[in-house]
Amino acid sequence: MFFLKPLRLLALLGLIFIVLIHLKRRKPKEMEVSSIKLWERVFADISNVKKKRINKYLLLILQLLIGSLIIFSFSEPYLLSKNKDNIYTLAFDCSMSMNAVEKGESRMNTAVKKAGEFIDSTPSGSRFNILSMEESAKVLKENLGKSEAKAAIGQLKPSNNPLDAEKSSKVLNSFGENVVVFTDKDVFKNKNVIKLGETLRDLGIVYGSFEAGLESSYCIVKNYGDSQVNADVALKDEKGNRLGLNDVTLKGGEEKKVFFYDLPQGIQYINFSLENEDMLLENNYYPVEALAEKKKVLLLGESYYVEKAISILPYVELIKKDKVDFSKEEFDFYIIAGDETEGVPKDKALWWVKEVNIGSGIPVVEGEISFEDDKFSYGLNNIKAQGRGYETAGDEETSALIKIDGKTLMYMDKNRHIYSTVDWDNSPLVFTPAFPIFIDNLLGYYLKEDANYKYRDFVINNEQDEGISGTYNVFSNISIKNVLILAVIILLILEWRVFKLGY
């Protein structure tokens, strides 16, 4: 076992006062009685002496245990596994939320301090690998001594990017035992995590959209805290002049769209901003430039509801055809809704609305639709819709987008091609507001290439690799602070029972 705050163990010296209080002699108390004939009362008292003495010392032991466990828990204890090579891997969350300032200090600085305490608590001669995690996970330094490791982590800075949990998990799983992750998020459940910070009180603008000529725009505001808050969202032009101000009420963890209408004509740049003060400033602004021209989307074949959903997107010019010469015509996005496969450009953005090799007799899947990928599901968190279709097969390099009853009906492959076997014509989903939002998310992912149109959340791809590969083992550096607190509660109940029985 080791302690991140070992100096707090000096408080154990204070337990001597509990012992002194118990050893203090009580002065005899003289009492006058009118009669001494009831000797049986004396014998009854004598028979209870032994029991009360046992309760007295049991109470002393319990109080010493409670005091010790409280001091141990505040010293932040961890169980340390046997490490023959004394090699530790320290992984640091360097994503946007680590900029949050709490009690006058950023969470990144808190991580550096806790890591320094961890390094000091390890055995002499220990070596360290240093990793940073955000949109990608990088090995910064390897096989460092204690002083070198402290110097390396002192150079870490948080970025304005999200944490890609899936990529980070895969890199972490390539290392062996004694991996310690420093983060403020509830991720990496199967790993040893030193959690930073307490409650995050933050509002953030995670997305913004503006199409020139429509005189309207919107942004998505998210509440990262647990309590309900009122947010004031301002819309400003490139010179900082306010064009509008709207307010929105958000529950804990909720996100909502905020719309602005009747914008002045000719504006090519806007900036959404939050007027509320919170713990993180980096996500309080969201600048957006208007799309210069509409993107050309080909719909080859028939898909009535997909066509209707795309037709209302202001940044899309939908071109519907039954046949096309791919060698002569080029588009920004291809939707193949028929069986035409010859000449389809495989190096372009493609969506096969119906799986090409679907055969007869494949069982139909029906039920509530689950949107699986964060890139395509924002704005759909609280929407429930039914769908039907056929299960389609992917592989280890595909990412599921839509599932029904745990079965994949839509996925993206490693080439960013999308395949779907959802029966849109017979799915109630198409009659809900969720469908055009989903289509907008999907096409926007491909067509709004500018960084202004990226969804800026704290965590993306939160589908972590749970597998064990290489020399990876289950982590045994375990924080036992919560276990000690639970033990204190149990001992307090037991102490109360002992005191009640006659001390």
Which tens digit of pLDDT belongs to each residue from 159-190?
A: 988 898 888 888 888 886 788 999 998 888 77
Mean pLDDT over 100-118 rounds to 91
Token pair of 458, please?
């704290």
Of the listed ranges 145-149, 299-303, 448-452, the one predicted with least confidence: 448-452
Mean pLDDT over 138-147 rounds to 91
Element containing residue 77 per DSSP (H, E): strand 77-79
Q: Looking at residue 36, what is its pLDDT?
A: 57
Cα 283 to Cα 20, 288, 389, distances in angstroms? 56, 14, 39
Cα 116 to Cα 59, 148, 152, 460, 480, distances in angstroms? 39, 11, 11, 28, 20
203-278 CATH fold? Immunoglobulin-like (2.60.40)
CB 127 within 8 A of CB 152: no
Q: Looking at residue 192, what is its pLDDT?
A: 83
Q: Is residue 395 very low, low, confident or very high in pLDDT (cuts 50, 70, 90)? A: low
Q: Looking at residue 1, what is its pLDDT?
A: 58
Q: Is residue 479 very low, low, confident or very high in pLDDT (cuts 50, 70, 90)? A: low
User: Tokens 């001390």, residue?
Assistant: 503
Residue type (1 letter), 80: L
Q: Looking at residue 9, what is its pLDDT?
A: 78
In this predicted structure, the answer to whether residue 449 has a pLDDT above a threshold of 60 is: no
Counting residues of the chain whose pLDDT is more than 70, the rounded percentage is: 79
Q: Looking at residue 144, what is its pLDDT?
A: 92
Count CB neighbours of 1 within 10 A: 10
Q: At 453, is the secondary structure helix, strand, or coil?
A: helix
Q: Which is more confidently placed, 213 or 416?
A: 416
Q: Is residue 49 very low, low, confident or very high in pLDDT (cuts 50, 70, 90)? A: low
Mean pLDDT over 104-124 rounds to 91
Q: Is 301 left (phi over 0), alpha (psi -120 to 50) or beta?
A: left
Q: Looking at residue 45, what is its pLDDT?
A: 60
CB 288 within 8 A of CB 212: no
Q: Looking at residue 35, what is its pLDDT?
A: 57
User: Tokens 């496969």, residue?
Assistant: 341
In this predicted structure, the answer to whether residue 197 has a pLDDT above a threshold of 70 is: yes
CA distance 231 to 253: 13
Q: Is residue 357 very low, low, confident or very high in pLDDT (cuts 50, 70, 90)? A: very low
CB 441 within 8 A of CB 379: yes
In this predicted structure, the answer to whether residue 123 has a pLDDT above a threshold of 80 is: yes
The superfamily CATH assigns to domain 81-200+460-476 is: von Willebrand factor, type A domain (3.40.50.410)
Q: Name the most confidently modeled range: 22-26, 138-142, 290-294.
A: 138-142
DSSP 424: G
Q: Looking at residue 73, what is its pLDDT?
A: 80
CA distance 72 to 11: 9
Q: Looking at residue 83, what is its pLDDT?
A: 52
In this predicted structure, the answer to whether residue 358 has a pLDDT above a threshold of 70 is: no
Q: At 495, is the secondary structure helix, strand, or coil?
A: helix
Q: Looking at residue 51, what is its pLDDT?
A: 52
295-447 CATH fold? Rossmann fold (3.40.50)
Structural domain boundaries in the chain: 2-19+40-78+483-500, 81-200+460-476, 203-278, 295-447
Q: Is residue 337 very low, low, confident or very high in pLDDT (cuts 50, 70, 90)? A: confident
In this predicted structure, the answer to whether residue 325 has a pLDDT above a threshold of 50 is: yes
Compute and round to an integer the Cα radius of gyration of the chain.
32
DSSP structure string for 103-132: TTEEHHHHHHHHHHHHHHHSPTT-EEEEEE
Nearest Cα to Cα of residue 462 among 399, 392, 380: 399
What are the strands, taking DSSP E only, across 145-300? 163-164, 179-183, 192-195, 203-210, 216-223, 229-237, 242-250, 255-261, 269-274, 285-289, 295-300
Element containing residue 140 per DSSP (H, E): strand 137-144
Counting residues of the chain whose pLDDT is more than 90, the rounded percentage is: 22
Q: Looking at residue 453, what is its pLDDT?
A: 52
- Give the pairing type, strands 216-223 and 203-210: antiparallel
Q: Is residue 454 very low, low, confident or very high in pLDDT (cuts 50, 70, 90)? A: low
Comparing 81-200+460-476 with 203-278, is the CATH topology the same? no
Q: Is residue 465 very low, low, confident or very high in pLDDT (cuts 50, 70, 90)? A: very low
Average pLDDT over all residues of the chain: 80
